[in-house]
Amino acid sequence: MRPGIAANNASPELGVGGRNQALRICQRSPKVGGQGAKPGGRTSRGYEAPTMMDRKTTPFIRGATLEIERQARELRRQMTPAENKLWQVIRRKQVDGLRFRAQHPVGRFILDFYCPEHKLVIEVGGSIHEDNRERDAERTACLAAFGYTVLRVKYDEIEDDLSAVLKVIRDTIDLNRNNVD
């Protein structure tokens, strides 16, 4: 693996209650309304309970709010040049016949690129990711707890040597295939 390209396919030690801890780390902000609130109705505290149009409900990380989905659509329209360059070579099953999604919402996260068949997440990072290493580590741990493999690639690596980035993606997919078999 090239220096600077990091893959995390090892899930953290979950131990007793570990899955619940991962769920707490990954969960969204508390829902408005509380118990017993009917969608669109009022709670005992006077708050208006959200309707299904305001939020989605699911116990899985996959569920995303409508706001996250709106942000993902906007990010698809405004890809950086490096993201767009990578997207042009991985879209439409061009890499080993695998489907990738761009700016895919998962829980409270928007993944730069995602291959659902292998639960592979490709995060393209630049200067913003240098400043948020702790947040990125938490995000990676959360995704790993749910079985996602996170591969981080820098903008410069895509611009300078796209074929090496594609090789790392293929190697990661092969590693995931071997682990499943």
| Tens-digit pLDDT profile for residues 82-134 | 999 999 999 999 999 999 999 999 988 999 999 999 999 999 987 655 678 88
CATH 3.40.50.720 at 6-28+65-180, yes or no: no
Q: The whole model's pTM is what? A: 0.68
Using alpha carbons, select from 170, 164, 148, 158 the residue that is nearest to residue 124: 158
**Average pLDDT, rounded, for the chain:** 76
d(CA 44, CA 36): 9
Q: For residue 149, what are the β-bridge partners?
A: 120
Both tokens of 19, joined, read 């899955």
pLDDT for the residue 181: 60
Model pLDDT, residue 161: 96
Determine contact, residues 106/61, Cβ cutoff 8 Å: yes
Residue 59 pLDDT greater than 60, yes or no = no
Per-residue pLDDT for 65 more than 60?
yes
Range in 5-19, 51-65, 152-166 the model is least confident about: 5-19
Q: pLDDT digits over 150-160, tens only?
A: 999 999 999 99
Side chain identity at 118, as an amino acid letter?
A: H
What is the residue extent of each domain of the chain?
6-28+65-180, 31-59
pLDDT recorded at residue 179: 77
Rounded percentage of the chain residues whose pLDDT exceeds 90: 49
- The number of beta carbons lying within 10 Å of the beta carbon of residue 30 is 7
Name the amino acid, one letter, at 105. P
Q: Lay out the sheet containing 149-154: strands in order across.
A: 6-8, 149-154, 120-125, 109-115, 101-106
Q: What is the pLDDT of residue 149?
A: 94
pLDDT band at 168 (very low <50, low <70, confident <90, very high): very high
